[in-house]
């Protein structure tokens, strides 16, 4: 096997971030490992069961995929705009997809879960660098607007950080307020969608 074949055999399948309607990203390079993307539930509504299933059982798979992505950067000599080697990437949830496609599809179920005291979260940010991995979640809550009317709001929730140097996960609680209905500190979702003519792509992603 020649050197090129050896390199190619080490590379994971690649995804183009420009094709992902469920997330946005901060980077001038557009390609990440598909195995890493598959471990990031951007745009999904996570009830308590799904959230803790993810935290308790999927974080090792996330780390493995993150390491393969770092290997991909190294083997393919991916560079930033200033020609320095790629060393980190930040991904964020797409507000239009989450609040105008994903959340409306589960509107009644989300309200019922929150009324029953169950926490509902979504993945808001992912960071990968040469030294660490971070996954951050926000929590969906309710704001009373009438006798039986509610508006969705959200708050910071938890951040999980893994250091490659210490091989330890650390958990940071971003908001200690317990109230799921009418909390004192919250953020309002966007009211106007910005699909930029990608409505079919958004609907396909939802499906």
- pLDDT at res. 195: 78
pLDDT of residue 101: 95
Using CA atoms, how far apart are residues 155 and 174, in angstroms rounded to an integer? 9
Residues 34/14, Cβ–Cβ less than 8 Å: yes
For residue 3, what pLDDT is reported? 47
Model pLDDT, residue 137:
98
Backbone angles phi, psi at 113, to 5 degrees: -65, -45
Predicted local confidence at residue 10, as pLDDT: 64
Angle at 165 between CA 159 and CA 169, to 5 degrees: 30
Taking the C-alpha atoms of residue 134 and residue 160, their distance in angstroms, rounded to an integer, is 6
pLDDT at 146: 86
| Structure-block tokens of residue 107 | 């509107």
Low-confidence stretches of the chain (pLDDT < 70) are 1-10, 79-83
pTM for this prediction: 0.90
Torsion 188-189-190-191 (CA) sign: negative
């Amino acid at each position: 096997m020649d050197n090129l074949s050896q390199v190619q055999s080490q590379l994971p399948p690649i995804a183009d971030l420009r094709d992902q309607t469920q997330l946005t990203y901060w980077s001038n390079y557009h390609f990440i490992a598909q195995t890493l993307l598959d471990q990031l539930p951007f745009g999904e509504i996570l009830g308590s069961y799904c959230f803790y299933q993810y935290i308790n059982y999927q974080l090792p798979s996330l780390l493995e995929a993150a390491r393969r992505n770092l290997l991909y950067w190294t083997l393919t000599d991916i560079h930033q705009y200033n020609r320095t080697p790629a060393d980190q990437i930040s991904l964020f949830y797409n507000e239009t997809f989450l609040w105008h496609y994903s959340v409306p599809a589960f509107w009644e179920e989300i309200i019922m879960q929150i009324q029953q005291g169950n926490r509902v979260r979504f993945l808001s940010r992912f960071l990968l660098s040469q030294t660490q991995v971070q996954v951050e979640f926000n929590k969906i809550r309710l704001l009373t607007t009438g006798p039986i009317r509610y508006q969705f709001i959200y708050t910071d929730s938890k951040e999980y950080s893994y250091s490659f140097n210490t091989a330890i996960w650390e958990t940071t609680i971003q908001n200690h307020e317990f109230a799921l209905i009418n909390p004192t500190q919250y953020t309002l979702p966007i009211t106007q969608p910005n699909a930029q003519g990608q409505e079919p792509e958004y609907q396909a992603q939802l499906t």
